[in-house]
Amino acid sequence: MSNPDNKKIVQFLYEMGTMRKISRIHRQTFLTDDMTDNIATHSYRVALIGWFLAKMEGADPYKVVMMCLAHDMPEVRSNDHNWIHKRYVKIFEDEIKKEQLGSLPFDDLKIMIDEYDKKETLESIVTKEADMVDQIFLLREYVWQGNKEAQLWLEGYGGKEGRDKLDRFKTESARSLAEAAMAESPSSWWNNLATGTNR
């Protein structure tokens, strides 16, 4: 039998594996059944976005990546909630973080997620903005597929053409990356790769 620390780590990793099973709940308001968009896939791209933003902003990229990977860990226990649910549901997030991360043999994840929640350090701000940029990427992908509700969310209700979303960013790097994502075709990455001939 492994030592008690290994048991806690293994249980935690099994729990984090369930992130793949938790769909992001904006499926309801976007009128989509996109089962590929879950907490794990979201956290993965947020981490990649965070790494780039950290490099652009002079933040610690490895701390940002870990914050990005950890930022939605409590949702494993509380689930994801859209803006309508948040009006009616109380989440005991401090309790979740204490029980989920506080008993691990290393306290780094708990310290990082507490720092993220305060949004005072450059790394925590960059992490939050990476989360917001990923939402713009997702909305753009849905718009590209013809989702009219996503179009309204992306452009802003009342014809603000997305400026309200862009104005929320505190860093110029996140704002400029979000603007580029809004302007770019989601399928442009493969335009020069396609061929009808095998090598």
CATH number of the domain within which 14 lies: 1.10.3210.10
The helix-helix angle for 39-57 and 172-183 (nearest 10°) equals 120
Average pLDDT of 82-108?
90
Q: What is the domain range of residue 104? A: 4-186
Q: What is the DSSP string of 161-174?
A: TTHHHHTT-SSHHH
Residue 24 lies in a domain: yes
The answer to whether residue 124 is domain-embedded is: yes
**In-domain check, residue 171:** yes
Tally the domains of the chain. 1
Residue type, 126: V
In a domain, 196, yes or no: no
**Is position 39 within any domain?**
yes
Tokens of 193: 């790769």
| 197 belongs to a structural domain | no
Query: Does the predicted model carry a pTM greater than 0.75?
Result: yes
Q: Are 174 and 133 in contact (CB under 8 A)?
A: yes
Report pLDDT digits (tens) over 109-148: 999 999 999 999 999 999 999 999 999 999 999 999 999 9
Rounded to whole angstroms, the Cα distance separating 38 from 144 reads 19
Q: What per-residue confidence (pLDDT) applies to 1?
A: 45
Would 191 be classed as within a structural domain?
no
Residue with tokens 């809004």: 182
Joined together, the tokens standing for residue 9 give: 């780590």
Examine residue 79 and state whether it is found in any structural domain, yes or no: yes
* CA gap 106, 5 in Å, rounded: 9
Task: Give the tokens for residue 50.
Answer: 């965070």
